[in-house]
Chain A
Amino acid sequence: MLLIPCPWCGPRDETEFHYGGQAHVPYPEDPASLTDEEWARYLFFRDNPKGPFAERWSHAAGCRRWFNAVRDTSTNEILTVYRAGEPRPTAPLSARPAGPSRPTSALSARPAFEDEAVQAEAGSGGAAPSGVEGAAPLQDGTGRGGGGDHTLRTPTGGRIDRTTPLTFTFDGTDYQGYQGDTLASALLANGVVQAATSIKLGRPRGIFSAGVEEPNAVVQIEAPFPEPMLPATTVELHDGLVATSLPGQGRLATTPDPARYDAVHAHCDLLVVGAGPAGLAAAAAAASSGARVILADDQPEPGGSLLGTGEHLDWVAATRTRLEAAPEVRVLPRTTVFGHYDDNHLLAVERRTNHLGADAPPNVSRERVWRIRARHVVLATGAHERSVAFGDNDRPGVMLATSARTYLHRYAVLPGRQAVVLTTNDSAYAAALDLAAAGVGIAAIVDTRPEPGQWAERARSAGIEVLPGHAVTGTAGRERLTAVTVAPYEGTGTQREFAADLLLVSGGWNPVAHLFSQAGGKLRYDEVLGTFVPDSCRQAVAVAGAANGAFDLATALVEGTKAGTRAVEAEGYTAGTPALPAVAPQPYTPPMQVFSVPGEAPRFVDLQRDVTVDDLARATGAGLRSVEHTKRYTTAGTANDQGRTGGVLASGVVAELLGVDVSALGLPTFRPPYTPVSFAALAGRDRGAMLDPIRTTALHDWHVGHGALFENVGQWKRPWYYPLDGEDMESAVLRECRAAREGVAFMDASTLGKIDVQGPDAALFLDRLYTNMMSNLKVGMIRYGVMCRLDGMVFDDGTVIRLAPDRFLVTTTTGNAAAVLDWMEEWLQTEWPDLRVHCTSVTEHWATVALVGPQSRAVLGSLAPALAVSNEDFPFMAWRETTVAGIDARVCRISFSGELAYEINVSPWQAVPLWEALYEAGAPYGITPYGTETMHVLRAEKGYPIVGQDTDGTVTPQDLGMGWAVSKKKPDFIGKRSYARADSVRPDRKHLVALLTDDPAVFLPEGTHLVADSELPAPPVPMLGHVTSSYRSAALGRTFALALVKGGRDRIGERLYAPVGDRLLPVTVAGPVLYDPEGARRDG
């Protein structure tokens, strides 16, 4: 959501503004002197540049001022704003804060690993198989667990609460877990690794990770409420949880979701995304400054990667306590920031009661969408470990190395008994050492690097065999991994096979740059890290820690502190110096970039979409050269994990296949949401009756109480008709029409738009706005007026009441009230600022009751003793101030039915007593309330058009037969020049006429087309026009319709045909005024 700076009110959300097109296109001084072409150029032609563009905006939901803005049409940045009437400034008013900028990698040399990969293919193919090494795996080989004896739980440690055991069900089997488990960790603790079956190939798949990046273990939740496709690694365990594994897609619930979802807006000086070490340090630096800070993290507790390593948790706890106590700091756990938009507008979803299961309180929203506007953002979103594409790399038991470490430290779970580790970098060693210390047998660490450095020494010291320059080339097992094949990565050598139920993989790390990229940030390829890292961003965004490629803890803490400090100091606060843990220096050997290992068996790149290296090879073989194209061709990266573990891998493999550098190839675009968000959360409370407001008049309750059915007119609820017991719509409307034509009837007309126009130039202004003359209207009198757009097409109509020489009350159609007021303000503010006129909406300041029918004078007279109601004293199109039923009222003698009629305007605070007094005083005459349907019939019988029903933006007043309302005397008015355009004077323009069917009982549906011939010719059939309104008339004793017909006024009396269903109904064209054409009934 853009922030647009109103020159008066300052920055506001773009939804408060209306766009007004190109700026500095003035209304021609003398439109009459322009040629048709020049006029058309002014009307229809606008510039469409790429780059800075001066355009008009209105702060429509705010101060209602029109202003100009220069917007860059390629980036949507508002470069500057200035008030209407001011010249376009030459330089932007203010520069935007720029994000951290670093030089882009200039290197694009082809990396060595591609050559190595080619050599390795020949080498491993020639190796002879060897015997299986190591003990047989302890599991039964099913991957589905061996009972709930918790033998895979370590006796101590972890973040689980061992005093709160929980019971849950997976695929029909009951298991036990603990408070603090995820569904995935609880399954692993029960020996269940296989959690899904792959979508295309039906291969068993196991839990692969410990976080949102999970591609495999995507499950269906059945209870407490069905929810499809949640990663088991993100589902917090609660008592009574029921889940099933999924072969691919999930199922939506068939019953409505009873939970509540809502949304809130929030503002802050600094939003920190991610509460790992970098994010905590950033928030801690900012917290004591007094700046407003929000710290959002997707986990139930802060700590991030430290939860998975088990390090410095005392510092995490102390920092959390300090943050939660700081008055202007808001810590949002279980909150995923999923979208980063313009002007640091970020969307997050907070999972508030999911983890409570059936105990969730009904009045607390289950999920809440946070719409956060942040002055500065620190992205401390961490990194995801990536996999390596080797043969059969998808078996249950293959797991990311650091995820296994997380299962050990955070959940006290051993994800297997006997492991092989495949790595290209240092990080897997810590996982191997920790797991070994916890009792997992590490058969070998297979490191693709020929010289793995000090970490390898540490492993050897712990008694673990390290195989430098080796890679995993294949695996065995079905429901669960049973063996791993290892061979030299380069050159030839002995192939070895290890028995294992766990294969830990680390192919390097990908910074979580999704939000940074959504924010408009550019990524660069880091040759040393072998991955894409954030480079620069035009928004006020900083990236810290692993998200920035700082994969070691000490650097992450420093980067976080600096980013938090810079952000709040830019806002004028003094940052504190947070206490940071002492981090021991760790040995470091640069990683090696390995994306794939040659082999015959399928090598999966995208586990969730079953995309292999061979699939990508087919894509490049078909000539695709861009990762955007290979993504669409193979679907790699399109599943609900969005390629978090496989995305960079896919790019790397495609680069290898194409023989280009991965840095030149790039990544597919990151788009929100970062993780899937339910539609229910996005809808929030905007559902049911809350989806769209309804507007009601002061008389609404009376209408409801008297059985009215309602019609939606814009957002208004208007009484449609008032059926008596047993009446259908047709008979109710005929009864209401008869009452209005023969006795007296009344309706609530309060919804009409009303605008008070005041000022010495008010009459001149209205003369320019309406097609007809308003300046010669006398005080005390009323005139009907038509308003057109510049193209001459009818825009609105209504009455103009002259209250005083410099004051008018203008009425508009119900649906157009706001548009007409905006139209008036636009002209006054942008074209005619010299006119001394002001317009004020008074729509709801008045309640209006239309009193209609030959007996209306008697009813009014009985309630308004001070009012002389005779035709001579109170003529047609006059207004009077008086009291009606003792209530101050302005009574207008206007008619939208052709009958004697009055519109009585009172304060809405007095509307009910007025209405009830009319109902009572009219009772002797059978006064009848009527609704919009009867109003439409009555007006149509008189040929009065309804703007928006009988017009559609292509109809001129002349087309409607209202040339009389178009002034020939006024030098100019809006639309006048267009009436001289060649198109406006075509004889075959569509005119408004009436249609009478031969059979008076036959009803023409609105929209029916009209043709000339009694038999349809071969298509295309020439259409002469269409029916715009169609009714049954009590007064005429038959049906009738209004229609727009080509050259209609020249066809009066002609026979046309209306195709309805499979019949061609004969109709006769008539003049539009069918009832009382001489106007005899107007004066009663």
Chain B
Amino acid sequence: MADTAPTARPRSPLADAAPRLAAVTRSSKGALRLAELPFLAQVNVRLDAKSPAADAVGPALGLPLPLEPDTVVHAGEVTAVWLGPDEWLVVGRPGTERDLERRIRTAAGDEPAAVTDVSAQRTTLLVGGPRARDLLAHGCALDLHPRAFGPGRCAQTTLARTQVVLVARDETRAGFWVLVRSSFAGYLVDWLLDAAVEHV
């Protein structure tokens, strides 16, 4: 695709929701922190975990692709999320998707690997604060207790009535990333704001 800079400022799926999310953070007095983390680079990687490509991609990204199901590995500003035994989501700073895609493709070489820019497929919600787990428990059947879903854990699952990728951030207090399909993002924000009513 031609490398032409866009003329207009990009608009994220939850651009309009930012004030409502910030209002929850404010009125909950820090019990909850809600925000969209827009435009994160997201690259879907499919390859055989036992192939040389898997070994090559690690050094190219500066982190090994996690092989244990439902875990994440991160280094610097790159996070690799286990989605399946041959599938990962590599997440990076906004604007780095092409660089990430190129590095992974180059590393994989002639090995059969599928590398797909999916940055706009999902947007990312930060759900943090001491009550983050309680909030998500309204619609997530997974056990999110730190013993079961501590830092480094992730899961593809259902939150309310939509599918999400849930990532526990490094520190328990830092909360969760909730990656949601862009078309469902508006619904999920409405749901989160409704579930948060008791905390604000």
A493 at interface by CB-CB < 8 Å: no
| Stretch of B18-26, B56-64, B190-198 lying at the A interface | B190-198
A9 at interface by CB-CB < 8 Å: yes
Contacts of B143 on A, CB cut-off 8 Å?
267, 373
Residues in B162-200 with C-beta less than 8 Å from chain A: 162-163, 181-184, 186-188, 190-191, 194-195, 197-198, 200
CB distance from A693 to the nearest CB of B (A): 4
Q: Do A363 and B197 touch (CB < 8 A)?
A: yes
B73 at interface by CB-CB < 8 Å: no
Given A698-B11, A881-B1, A693–B187 Cβ distance below 8 Å? yes
B16 at interface by CB-CB < 8 Å: yes
A526 at interface by CB-CB < 8 Å: no
Residue A883 contacts which of B4, B138, B142, B182 (CB distance < 8 angstroms)? B4
A664 at interface by CB-CB < 8 Å: no
B137 at interface by CB-CB < 8 Å: yes
Residue B141 contacts which of A371, A756, A910 (CB distance < 8 angstroms)? A371
Contacts of A1064 on B, CB cut-off 8 Å?
none
B109 at interface by CB-CB < 8 Å: no
With A and B bound together, what is the CA distance between A77 and B139 in angstroms? Answer: 26
With A and B bound together, what is the CA distance between A211 and B142 in angstroms? Answer: 35
Residue A840 contacts which of B114, B140, B194 (CB distance < 8 angstroms)? B114
Contacts of A910 on B, CB cut-off 8 Å?
6, 8, 10-11
- The listed residue with most B CB atoms (<10 A of its CB), out of A260, A758, A885, is A758
Q: Do B145 and A267 touch (CB < 8 A)?
A: yes
With A and B bound together, what is the CA distance between A615 and B6 in angstroms? Answer: 83
Given A840-B116, A844-B183, A845-B119, A61–B10 Cβ distance below 8 Å? no
With A and B bound together, what is the CA distance between A9 and B71 in angstroms? Answer: 10
| Stretch of A62-70, A192-200, A480-488, A555-563 lying at the B interface | A62-70
With A and B bound together, what is the CA distance between A840 and B195 in angstroms? Answer: 32
Residue B13 contacts which of A8, A371, A908 (CB distance < 8 angstroms)? A908
| Stretch of A10-18, A38-46, A930-938, A1008-1016 lying at the B interface | A10-18
Contacts of B106 on A, CB cut-off 8 Å?
none
Q: Do A698 and B145 touch (CB < 8 A)?
A: no
What is the 8 Å Cβ interface bit string for chain B, positions 84-95, against chain A (1 contact, 0 not)?
A: 111100000000
With A and B bound together, what is the CA distance between A844 and B11 in angstroms? Answer: 14
With A and B bound together, what is the CA distance between A421 and B160 in angstroms? Answer: 55
Q: Do B13 and A266 touch (CB < 8 A)?
A: no
Residue A845 contacts which of B120, B148, B160 (CB distance < 8 angstroms)? B120
With A and B bound together, what is the CA distance between A698 and B181 in angstroms? Answer: 12
Contacts of B160 on A, CB cut-off 8 Å?
690, 693
A697 at interface by CB-CB < 8 Å: yes
Residue of A nearest to B186 (CB): A696
Q: Do A265 and B183 touch (CB < 8 A)?
A: no
What is the 8 Å Cβ interface bit string for chain B, positions 142-161, against chain A (1 contact, 0 not)?
A: 11010110000001111011
B96 at interface by CB-CB < 8 Å: no
Q: Do A887 and B145 touch (CB < 8 A)?
A: no
- How many residues belonging to A are interface residues under a CB distance threshold of 8 Å? 71
Q: Do A695 and B187 touch (CB < 8 A)?
A: yes
Q: Do A13 and B141 touch (CB < 8 A)?
A: yes
Contacts of B47 on A, CB cut-off 8 Å?
838
A882 at interface by CB-CB < 8 Å: yes
Residue B46 contacts which of A840, A887, A911 (CB distance < 8 angstroms)? A840
Residue of B nearest to A266 (CB): B137
With A and B bound together, what is the CA distance between A833 and B132 in angstroms? Answer: 40
Q: Do B2 and A881 touch (CB < 8 A)?
A: yes
Residue B112 contacts which of A12, A836, A866, A908 (CB distance < 8 angstroms)? A836
What is the 8 Å Cβ interface bit string for chain A, positions 885-908, against chain B (1 contact, 0 not)?
A: 111101000000000000000011
Given A292-B145, A844-B183, A759–B116 Cβ distance below 8 Å? no
B83 at interface by CB-CB < 8 Å: yes
Contacts of A9 on B, CB cut-off 8 Å?
69-70, 155-156
Contacts of A888 on B, CB cut-off 8 Å?
1-2, 4, 6
Q: Do A840 and B186 touch (CB < 8 A)?
A: no
With A and B bound together, what is the CA distance between A700 and B115 in angstroms? Answer: 29
Residues in B5-56 with C-beta less than 8 Å from chain A: 6-8, 10-13, 16, 39, 44, 46-47
Contacts of B86 on A, CB cut-off 8 Å?
838
B122 at interface by CB-CB < 8 Å: yes
Q: Do A364 and B118 touch (CB < 8 A)?
A: no
Contacts of B198 on A, CB cut-off 8 Å?
363-365
Q: Do A882 and B2 touch (CB < 8 A)?
A: yes
Contacts of A16 on B, CB cut-off 8 Å?
157-158
CB distance from A747 to the nearest CB of B (A): 17
What is the 8 Å Cβ interface bit string for chain A, positions 263-307, against chain B (1 contact, 0 not)?
A: 111110000000000000000000000001000000000000000
With A and B bound together, what is the CA distance between A40 and B176 in angstroms? Answer: 50
Q: Do A690 and B182 touch (CB < 8 A)?
A: no
Contacts of B120 on A, CB cut-off 8 Å?
844-846, 907-909
Could you give 21 example pairs across A and B, Cβ below 8 Å?
A: A8-B69, A9-B69, A12-B142, A12-B157, A63-B69, A260-B197, A262-B195, A264-B134, A265-B138, A292-B145, A685-B194, A686-B161, A693-B188, A716-B183, A760-B112, A838-B86, A838-B87, A839-B114, A909-B12, A910-B8, A911-B11
List of 4 A-B pairs having minimum Cβ-Cβ separation, nearest first: A838-B114, A909-B10, A838-B46, A886-B7
- A-B contacts besides A10-B70, A62-B156, 10 pairs, CB < 8 Å: A8-B69, A267-B148, A838-B113, A843-B181, A881-B1, A886-B6, A888-B4, A908-B13, A908-B120, A910-B11
